[in-house]
């Protein structure tokens, strides 16, 4: 997908992040709030498959954290 520094996840979207040597998937639940969905995934490939599956099932978008307050959209399923 494309990189747009002005775009941000909205409530219900999924966010992929890398912390402490593992990939994590979270869901945005409100203003600056996240719910952990999947933690400790060892490979990015597995984490991407997980976020794509969840995004498609829930008709939400998927994002990858690319720094503080920077996101790159990786899936688009919102209608």
Question: Distance (Å, rounded) from C-alpha 48 to C-alpha 45?
Answer: 5
- The pLDDT, as a whole number, for residue 73 is 95
Q: For 38-48, what is each residue's pLDDT tens digit? A: 889 899 999 99
- H or E stretch at 15: strand 14-19
**DSSP 8-state code for residue 76:** -
Q: For 16-41, what is each residue's pLDDT tens digit? A: 999 989 999 999 998 778 888 888 98
Tokens 């593992």 — which residue? Answer: 22
Characterise 61 by phi-psi region: left (phi > 0), alpha (psi -120 to 50), beta (else).
beta
């Amino acid at each position: 997908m494309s990189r747009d520094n002005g775009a941000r996840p909205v409530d219900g979207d999924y966010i992929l992040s890398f912390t402490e040597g593992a990939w994590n998937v979270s869901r945005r639940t409100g203003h600056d709030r996240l719910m952990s969905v999947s933690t400790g995934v060892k490979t990015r490939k597995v984490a991407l498959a997980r976020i794509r599956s969840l995004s498609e099932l829930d008709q939400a978008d998927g994002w990858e954290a690319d720094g503080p307050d920077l996101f790159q959209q990786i899936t688009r399923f919102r209608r």
